[in-house]
Amino acid sequence: MNQADIRRALIDALSSVAPEGDYDRLKPDRPLRDQLDIDSYDFLNVVVRLHEQLGVDIPEADYQKLATLDSAVAYLAPRVGAA
């Protein structure tokens, strides 16, 4: 699984909770919460989906590392053994 796969999995997880988001215009270095109007309940569901899709167990203390698309990919890559 490479970085593009992770990015895709992340977008999949996000669009499952915020289907009306404009994913083409998502700024990768800006907070996802503000851009997609997701709340903590949505975010919890994103974490659950990432767990199911990628098999990564994200501890609560690391949630802040998933704030932006870029930071989330950077966080997840070593954990799913991405090249």
Positions touching another protein (CB under 8 A) are 18-20, 37, 39-41, 44, 47-48, 51, 57-61
Report yes or no: 58 and 66 within 8 Å, Cβ to Cβ: yes
Q: At what angle do helices 40-54 and 3-17 cross, to 10 degrees?
A: 140
**Given the complex with another protein, which of 61 and 83 has the nearer CB atom?**
61
How many angstroms separate the CA atoms of 83 and 18, rounded? 29
